[in-house]
């Protein structure tokens, strides 16, 4: 019976768990894990489903990992290749990947549109223990749906007397007060406040600037949660690299200057429209499990899943965590693609050196520089639509996995205004398409529909829609 | 050797005596069962450090001999690990593990004839994260410096690598919010006489203190298991003295008395039950971990609690929890695994016990104690 001590790839929180291979995959709770005390969210509990087996293929034909990697090397040599990785794999692999991707690197984050002096704040969060001791916490996230393991830290803070303000479209049980995101000027912060927001490929840059600015002006602390495991390292390792934003990548694919996309443990099918992906001559995916993109890829380099890998992950706090597997065949495959043999040990030493640590110890957090950033101005665009469909991005959405989330939430007044029938459906129209969905009444802001699933009619996080019975 | 007999024993292997708790008897009994093919596999804890060990099923005698001794900061959960595997297996088990194995057996997920249970006396276990914090805050020692721990005379003692012992009374620790997991405090099963053997250090006296284990034989299977270890040359035994037997009964009585006090303290009557349960469950994120980990649940993925529940439903309290409250009223053993794994830190065991205590008391039905008593609310179909 193989048992692996591992980290959940569902987001950047860094939750420890065990995976057992015992005919089928099973999970077990690693109660000594400092980030999560062994507790897992809905997605973490679904990991045996997430780790769907994958085989190496070239143009749909099954082959070996080595052959697939050699073919990938051939297809990226044309000079019009872009390289995409949000994280989701070890620091050691990401170091090697970012070197390979010097010509065109995309981490999915739009750093170019944000001042350089904010990048470190966006990349590395604060220790979760500091959440528990904060006096006033301002949430720009829904902890229940998006980053559930932060919830127990918020509850611990509340027990110690913290006040929690939520800037969200729905009244959250953990919050003492709720501020409508449209009325953000009403927000009152002090230097004792801690702002918790998130930063992801669909983050509205002006909204990110606004949140940074609010914290800056009140001298409050701020921390950004992120949806992809080890994106902390993906971002800090690429801080001096010339990165391309996701929007730039889409533009370059549309223009035809990018014809080949190499994705390392990252599925762009949630982030890049299907018609754009369809313009690529080559989609090369190096991954450890099957997903939406692996069905579309021209070359699949299938290596071990994350839980079998050897290497280091950095969680949102900046905590270095060792994976309990022993395999480096993902790294070996990258070596074949790059045309050079990659040594795990030397890459591991580089990671430790960069973090200023002698050994990976999950019980202590390396010291990170947390430079102050200059005042910044945001140009927020008000939402003008009468009714808006708000996508509440969560791990099931990022990884395109089925969940019990095929419905929208709305207020009782909105439901009554539309004369919706209890147990019935609502019609939602956008961009010429109409969908019909179940609804649930919840304490949501008026004229807002919240959704934890992508329905295919969205235009970003907030989509103006027309609704009817 | 027969059912009802009490003995004192220890491992004949010096390295096992050193590594295992109380003379290494349990490790040796398990290893002998494997080596002499009484069983095909055993469950052991593969030790990572003083606060972490992972349960594994193994057929490797060396792995057994190198496995962890007593670890109070590893609240393990063995029943589901061996359920639905049709194994001929031996395993050490604290009281709640034994109860869970018996409940799984009643539900035909474990074959009791092929399962040899070596029960371990248990005064309670601790959550590893709480323990690390407790060491830092109350003991003022670094968790990395700890090389052993034991509970003796109401004190929790940690030994550090410099050979020093650091002791604080469990009462003091628990007053300050540390110490044992809440469900362990009110647990009434301290000596698992529902297992084939019940083993522990209570009742070991004189020069043998810390070097031997008191064993109670509770079944014919238990007698076979111990005799096998003696015949294989792994274990030596002797008769306990009267003083030891009396001491054992006294400790058991004192521990049960303390458990009863805690039970009264935790389960104070409620004024508004509905509002209480709603409030307690308001942070539930629907992860389902409490069901997955529940060692008496043998329903599988498709079950009443999940099938009657949809996230699209606007109920103020989920059907999932309501069905589980009902379902567990006769089968909750109070192991606390649900509370351990809840990502919203809901004290679920307390909520389940709120339903289970009155039902189980009224029906005079204790789940996991007697294999012959079927779950009260269910019919056991003979196959």
Domain CATH number, residue B143: 3.10.450
Please answer yes or no on whether A404 and B312 come within 8 Å at the CB atom.
Answer: yes
Helix (H) or strand (E) holding B46: strand B41-49
Do A326 and A415 lie in a common domain?
Answer: no
CB-based burial of residue A402 (10 Å sphere; 0-12 exposed, 13-18 middle, 19+ buried)?
exposed
Domain CATH number, residue A74: 3.40.50
Q: What digits encode the pLDDT tens for the residues A211-221? A: 999 999 999 99
Choose the final residue of a domain: B155, B179, B203: B179
Contacts of A28 in chain B (CB under 8 A): 54-55
Instruction: State which residue of chain B sits closest to A404, comparing Cα positions.
Output: B311
Choose the final residue of a domain: A348, A380, A412: A380
Residue B370 in any domain: the answer is no
Contact residues of A toward B, CB < 8 A: 1, 3, 5, 18, 22, 28-32, 34, 36-42, 44-45, 144-145, 148-149, 151-152, 155-156, 173-174, 363, 404-407, 438-442
Do B132 and B116 lie in a common domain?
Answer: no
Residue A77 in any domain: the answer is yes
Do B92 and B46 lie in a common domain?
Answer: yes
> How many domains in chain A?
2
Choose the final residue of a domain: A348, A365, A380: A380
Do B98 and B49 lie in a common domain?
Answer: yes
Closest CA–CA distance from residue A406 to any residue of chain B (Å): 8
Closest CA–CA distance from residue B314 to any residue of chain A (Å): 6
Tell me: pLDDT of A141 over 70: yes
Confidence band for B282, pLDDT divided at 50, 70 and 90: very high
Which pLDDT value is given to residue B300?
Answer: 87
Q: In terms of pLDDT, which residue wins out, B150 or B347? A: B347
- Residues A76-99 have a mean pLDDT of 95
Closest CA–CA distance from residue B162 to any residue of chain A (Å): 21
Closest CA–CA distance from residue A97 to any residue of chain B (Å): 32
- Residues A106-134 have a mean pLDDT of 96
Contacts of A363 in chain B (CB under 8 A): 132, 143-144
Contacts of B58 in chain A (CB under 8 A): 1
Contacts of B288 in chain A (CB under 8 A): 42, 45
Percent of chain A with pLDDT over 90: 91
Do B75 and B210 lie in a common domain?
Answer: yes
* Percent of chain A as helix, strand, coil, to the nearest 5: 30, 25, 45
In contact, B117 and B93? CB cutoff 8 Å: yes
Could you give the count of Cα atoms lying within 13 Å of B75 in the half-sphere of its Cβ? 31
Give the phi and the psi of residue B282 in degrees, each rounded to 5: -65, -20
Q: What digits encode the pLDDT tens for the residues B241-269? A: 999 999 999 999 999 999 999 999 999 99
- Among A97-101, A238-242, A417-421, B104-108, the range scoring the smallest mean pLDDT is A238-242
Order of strands across the sheet with A2-7? A2-7, A16-22, A24-29
Domain CATH number, residue A450: 2.40.40.20
In contact, A260 and A81? CB cutoff 8 Å: yes
Percent of chain B with pLDDT over 90: 82
Contacts of B79 in chain A (CB under 8 A): none
Do B156 and B39 lie in a common domain?
Answer: no
Q: What digits encode the pLDDT tens for the residues B151-182? A: 878 899 999 999 999 999 999 999 999 999 99
Tokens 């649940």: give the residue: B297
In contact, A18 and A40? CB cutoff 8 Å: no
d(CA A195, CA A212): 9
Tell me: pLDDT of B383 over 60: no
Do B146 and B168 lie in a common domain?
Answer: yes
Do B54 and B194 lie in a common domain?
Answer: yes
Do A391 and A295 lie in a common domain?
Answer: no
Q: What digits encode the pLDDT tens for the residues B352-379? A: 999 999 999 998 999 999 998 888 776 5
Tell me: pLDDT of A377 over 80: yes
Do B64 and B208 lie in a common domain?
Answer: yes
- Residues A9-23 have a mean pLDDT of 95
- Residues B79-95 have a mean pLDDT of 95
Closest CA–CA distance from residue B354 to any residue of chain A (Å): 23
Nearest CB to A149 within list B127, B340, B343: B343
Tell me: pLDDT of B295 over 60: yes
Choose the final residue of a domain: A333, A355, A380: A380
Q: Which of B80, B293, B344 to mutate to test the interface with A (most CBs of A within 10 A)?
A: B344
Which pLDDT value is given to residue B68?
Answer: 66
Order of strands across the sheet with B146-152? B146-152, B155-160, B165-169
- Residues A69-74 have a mean pLDDT of 97
Residue B30 in tokens:
């398990």
Do A218 and A88 lie in a common domain?
Answer: yes
Residue A120 in any domain: the answer is yes
Instruction: State which residue of chain A sits closest to B42, comparing Cα positions.
Output: A1
Contacts of B51 in chain A (CB under 8 A): 32
Do A370 and A393 lie in a common domain?
Answer: no
Closest CA to B65 of B22, B11, B110: B11
- Mean pLDDT across chain B: 93
Give the phi and the psi of residue A439 in degrees, each rounded to 5: -135, 155
Please answer yes or no on whether A41 and B285 come within 8 Å at the CB atom.
Answer: yes
d(CA A234, CA A246): 15
Domain around B133: 128-179
Distances (CA, A) of A189 to A142, A194, A272, A296: 19, 9, 36, 47
d(CA A426, CA A440): 10
Do A268 and A154 lie in a common domain?
Answer: yes
Whole-structure pTM value: 0.95
- Mean pLDDT across chain A: 95
Instruction: State which residue of chain B sits closest to A425, comparing Cα positions.
Output: B312
Which pLDDT value is given to residue B378?
Answer: 65
Nearest CB to B312 within list A31, A156, A440: A440
Residue A57 in any domain: the answer is yes
Confidence band for B382, pLDDT divided at 50, 70 and 90: low
CB atoms within 10 A of CB B65: 22
Do A184 and A231 lie in a common domain?
Answer: yes
Please answer yes or no on whether A39 and B341 come within 8 Å at the CB atom.
Answer: yes
Do A309 and A346 lie in a common domain?
Answer: yes
Contacts of A32 in chain B (CB under 8 A): 48-49, 51-52, 73, 128-129, 132
CB-based burial of residue B37 (10 Å sphere; 0-12 exposed, 13-18 middle, 19+ buried)?
exposed
Contacts of A3 in chain B (CB under 8 A): 46, 54, 56
Order of strands across the sheet with A57-58? A61-62, A57-58, A299-302, A282-287, A260-264, A81-84, A105-106
Tokens 């997430």: give the residue: A50
Nearest CB to A40 within list B52, B73, B343: B343
Residue A425 in any domain: the answer is yes
- Residues A179-197 have a mean pLDDT of 93
CB atoms within 10 A of CB A61: 8
Q: In terms of pLDDT, which residue wins out, B208 or A23? A: B208
Which pLDDT value is given to residue B22?
Answer: 86
Which pLDDT value is given to residue B380?
Answer: 53
Do B229 and B97 lie in a common domain?
Answer: yes
Who contacts A13 (Cβ-Cβ below 8 Å, separation ≥6)? Answer: A35, A36, A147, A149, A150, A225, A315, A316
Closest CA–CA distance from residue A191 to any residue of chain B (Å): 27
Closest CA–CA distance from residue A156 to any residue of chain B (Å): 9
- Residues A369-373 have a mean pLDDT of 91
Who contacts B2 (Cβ-Cβ below 8 Å, separation ≥6)? Answer: B217, B220, B223
3-state secondary structure A146-205: CCHHHHHHHHHHHHCCCEEEEECCECCCCCCEEECHHHHHHCCCCCCEEEEEECCCCCCH
Domain around A228: 52-380
Tell me: pLDDT of B149 over 90: no
Could you give the count of Cα atoms lying within 13 Å of A338 in the half-sphere of its Cβ? 22
Helix (H) or strand (E) holding B64: helix B61-65
Tell me: pLDDT of B5 over 60: yes
Going by their DSSP bridges, the two strands A81-84 and A260-264 should be labelled as parallel
Contacts of A42 in chain B (CB under 8 A): 285-288
Do B111 and B156 lie in a common domain?
Answer: no
Do B200 and B79 lie in a common domain?
Answer: yes
Contacts of B52 in chain A (CB under 8 A): 30-32
> How many domains in chain B?
3
Which pLDDT value is given to residue A172?
Answer: 98
Please answer yes or no on whether A40 and B48 come within 8 Å at the CB atom.
Answer: no
Which pLDDT value is given to residue B186?
Answer: 96
Instruction: State which residue of chain A sits closest to B57, comparing Cα positions.
Output: A1
Please answer yes or no on whether B345 and A156 come within 8 Å at the CB atom.
Answer: yes
Do B157 and B193 lie in a common domain?
Answer: no
Please answer yes or no on whether A38 and B57 come within 8 Å at the CB atom.
Answer: no
Percent of chain B with pLDDT over 70: 98
Which pLDDT value is given to residue B381?
Answer: 53
Please answer yes or no on whether B54 and A404 come within 8 Å at the CB atom.
Answer: no
Please answer yes or no on whether B287 and A31 come within 8 Å at the CB atom.
Answer: no
Closest CA–CA distance from residue B217 to any residue of chain A (Å): 31
Residue A201 in any domain: the answer is yes
Contacts of A151 in chain B (CB under 8 A): 283, 285, 343-344
d(CA A50, CA A98): 26
Do A196 and A61 lie in a common domain?
Answer: yes
């Amino acid at each position: 019976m193989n048992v692996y001590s591992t980290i959940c790839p569902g987001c950047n929180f860094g939750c420890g768990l065990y995976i057992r291979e015992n005919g089928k995959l099973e999970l077990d709770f690693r109660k000594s894990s400092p980030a999560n005390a062994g507790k897992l969210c809905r997605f973490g509990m679904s990991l045996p489903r997430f780790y769907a087996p994958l085989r190496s293929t070239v143009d749909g034909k099954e082959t070996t990992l080595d052959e697939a990697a050699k073919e990938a090397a051939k297809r990226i040599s044309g000079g019009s290749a872009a390289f995409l990785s949000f994280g989701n794999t070890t620091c050691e692999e990401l170091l090697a990947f970012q070197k390979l991707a010097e010509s065109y690197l995309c981490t999915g984050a739009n750093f170019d549109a944000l001042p350089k002096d904010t990048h470190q704040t966006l990349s590395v969060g604060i220790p979760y223990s500091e959440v528990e001791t904060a006096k006033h916490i301002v949430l720009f996230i829904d902890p229940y749906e998006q980053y559930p393991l932060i919830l127990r830290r918020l509850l611990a803070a509340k027990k110690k007397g913290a006040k929690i303000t939520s800037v969200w479209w729905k009244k959250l049980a953990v919050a003492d007060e709720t501020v409508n995101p449209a009325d953000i000027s009403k927000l009152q912060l002090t230097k004792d406040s801690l702002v918790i927001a998130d930063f992801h490929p669909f983050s509205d840059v002006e909204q990110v600037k606004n949140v940074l600015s609010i914290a800056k002006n009140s001298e409050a602390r701020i921390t950004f949660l992120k949806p992809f495991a080890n994106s902390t390292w993906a971002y800090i390792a690429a801080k001096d690299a010339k990165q391309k934003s996701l929007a730039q990548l889409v533009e370059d694919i549309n223009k035809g200057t990018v014809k080949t996309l190499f994705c390392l443990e990252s599925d762009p099918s949630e982030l890049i429209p299907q018609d754009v992906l369809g313009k690529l001559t080559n989609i090369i995916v190096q991954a450890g499990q099957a997903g939406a993109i692996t069905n579309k890829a021209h070359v699949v380099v299938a290596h071990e899943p994350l839980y079998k890998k050897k290497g280091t992950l950095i969680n949102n706090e900046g905590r270095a965590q060792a994976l309990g597997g022993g395999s480096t065949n993902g790294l070996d495959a990258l070596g074949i693609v790059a045309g050079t043999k990659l040594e795990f040990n030397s890459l591991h030493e580089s990671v430790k050196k960069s973090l200023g640590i002698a050994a990976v110890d999950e019980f202590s957090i390396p010291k990170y520089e947390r430079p102050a950033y200059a005042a910044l101005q945001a140009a927020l665009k008000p939402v003008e639509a009468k009714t808006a469909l708000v996508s509440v991005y969560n791990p099931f959405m990022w990884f395109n996995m089925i969940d019990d989330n095929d419905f929208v939430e709305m207020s009782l007044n909105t439901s009554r205004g539309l004369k919706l029938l209890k147990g019935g459906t609502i019609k939602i129209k956008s961009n010429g398409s109409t969908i019909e969905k179940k609804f649930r009444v919840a304490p949501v802001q008026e004229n807002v529909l919240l959704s934890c699933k992508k329905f295919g009619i969205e235009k970003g996080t907030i989509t103006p829609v027309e609704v009817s019975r | 050797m027969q059912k009802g007999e009490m003995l004192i024993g220890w491992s004949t292997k010096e390295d096992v005596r050193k590594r295992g708790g109380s003379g290494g008897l349990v490790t040796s009994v398990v290893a002998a069962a494997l080596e002499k093919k009484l069983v095909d596999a055993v469950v052991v804890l593969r030790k990572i450090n003083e606060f972490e060990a992972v349960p594994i099923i193994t057929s490797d005698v060396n792995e057994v001999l190198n496995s962890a001794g007593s670890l109070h900061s590893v609240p393990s959960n063995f029943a589901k690990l061996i359920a639905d595997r049709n194994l001929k297996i031996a395993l050490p088990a604290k009281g709640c593990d034994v109860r869970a194995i018996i409940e799984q057996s009643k539900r035909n997920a474990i074959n009791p004839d092929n399962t040899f249970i070596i029960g371990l006396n248990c005064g309670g276990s601790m959550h590893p994260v709480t323990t690390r914090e407790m060491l830092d805050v109350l003991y003022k020692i670094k968790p990395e410096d700890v090389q052993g721990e034991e509970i003796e005379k109401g004190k929790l003692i940690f030994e550090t690598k410099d050979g020093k012992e650091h002791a604080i009374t469990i009462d003091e620790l628990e007053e300050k919010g540390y110490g044992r997991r809440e469900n362990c405090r009110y647990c009434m099963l301290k000596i698992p006489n529902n297992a084939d053997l019940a083993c522990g250090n209570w009742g070991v006296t004189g020069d043998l203190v810390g070097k031997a284990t008191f064993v109670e034989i509770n079944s014919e299977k238990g007698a076979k298991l111990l005799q096998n270890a003696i015949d294989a040359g792994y274990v030596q035994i002797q008769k306990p003295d009267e003083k030891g037997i009396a001491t054992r009964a006294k400790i058991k009585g004192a521990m049960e008395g303390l458990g009863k006090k805690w039970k009264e303290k935790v389960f104070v009557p409620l004024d508004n039950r509905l509002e209480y349960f709603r409030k307690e469950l308001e942070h539930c994120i629907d992860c389902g971990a409490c069901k997955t980990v529940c060692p008496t649940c043998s329903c599988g993925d498709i079950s009443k609690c999940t099938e009657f529940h949809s996230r699209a439903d606007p109920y103020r309290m989920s059907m999932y929890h309501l069905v589980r409250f009902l379902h567990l009223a006769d089968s909750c053993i109070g192991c606390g695994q649900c509370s351990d794994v809840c990502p919203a830190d809901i004290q679920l065991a307390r909520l389940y016990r709120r339903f289970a205590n009155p039902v189980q008391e009224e029906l005079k039905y204790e789940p996991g104690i007697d294999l012959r008593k079927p779950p009260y609310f269910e019919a056991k179909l003979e196959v």
